[in-house]
Amino acid sequence: MLLDGQIALITGAGRAGKGIGRSIALRLAKEGAKIAIADFAADAADAVAKEVSEAGGEALAVYGSVSSVEDVDKMVQATVDRFGRIDILINNAGITRDNLLVRMSEQDWDMVLDTNLKGVFNCTKAVAKLMMRERKGKIVNMASVMGIMGNAGQANYSASKGGVIALTKTTAKELGSRGINVNAVAPGFIQTVMTEEMPDDAKAGIAQQIPLRRLGSPEDVADVVLFLCSNASSYITGQVIAVDGGMVM
């Protein structure tokens, strides 16, 4: 198995149904990793941890907000207490609060930046200290094509994901000499709970703008994350891989 014996902490992995974090957790566990499922919602984290266990993997649910340094420290410590170390960090936690810029509240701006960008900073800082001592590690940040191309009605989300891309490159430069690979995945339109709420004609219109003529699946993203967590990507760092069917080239 590609990740046999590896320890992975995945934030925002408690999303039920077709969540990207859930799919990543199941995919990495299938390849032998032991998984810490981190989420603000305890019941959601518990549900995915149970699903991983029922599939034959080993999982721990940890709870807290990535925007809180104190919560992140507790989640990291709980993972280390259970598994002894952290080899892989997947910064997947993210939210949206969409609106046009002139109508966007300061609260919605701050909330998205605190979770999507500050959360990546908090988790990376906490886990990097552990990885630096081991002189190895894999960090994968969940960006978005919206952080590359922007999107009307998503000034806060696009800015946060653009920031994640810049943070990824900077972190890769700082941690590379310690044997730590840092990369980002930028999903396009993926079939999740959020996209399922869109009207069918809207989804069909989006698909026509994508060269592969379909929306992606959470599994499409999970497969790329697995690659970036495995030894197959040992000489790749500071990169942003778009999983978008060719929407952004």
Predicted confidence (pLDDT) per residue in 158-172, tens digit: 999 999 999 999 999
User: What DSSP assignment string belongs to 45-107?
Assistant: HHHHHHHHHHTT--EEEEE--TT-HHHHHHHHHHHHHHHS---EEEE-------B-GGG--HH
Asked whether residue 202 is assigned to any structural domain, the reply reads no
pLDDT at 213: 95
Mean pLDDT of 95-102: 96
Asked whether residue 211 is assigned to any structural domain, the reply reads no
Asked whether residue 145 is assigned to any structural domain, the reply reads yes
Count structural domains, the chain.
1
CATH number at residue 153: 3.40.50.720
Chain segment 192-238, per-residue pLDDT in tens: 876 777 788 877 888 899 999 999 999 999 999 999 999 999 999 99
Taking the C-alpha atoms of residue 226 and residue 229, their distance in angstroms, rounded to an integer, is 5
Asked whether residue 194 is assigned to any structural domain, the reply reads no
pLDDT mean across residues, the chain: 95
Q: Which domain holds residue 71?
A: 7-189+218-242
The amino acid at residue 91 is N
* DSSP 8-state class, residue 247: S
Asked whether residue 248 is assigned to any structural domain, the reply reads no
- List the structure tokens of 21: 């974090």
Query: 73-78 contacts: CB < 8 A, separation 24 or more?
Result: 73/126, 75/9, 75/36, 75/38, 76/9, 76/123, 76/126, 76/127, 76/130, 78/36
Question: What is the pTM for the complete model shown?
Answer: 0.96
Q: Interior CA angle at 232 toward 228 and 237, to 5°?
A: 50
Asked whether residue 141 is assigned to any structural domain, the reply reads yes
Active site includes 157? yes
Asked whether residue 1 is assigned to any structural domain, the reply reads no
Asked whether residue 224 is assigned to any structural domain, the reply reads yes
Catalytic site residue from 108, 157, 186, 243:
157
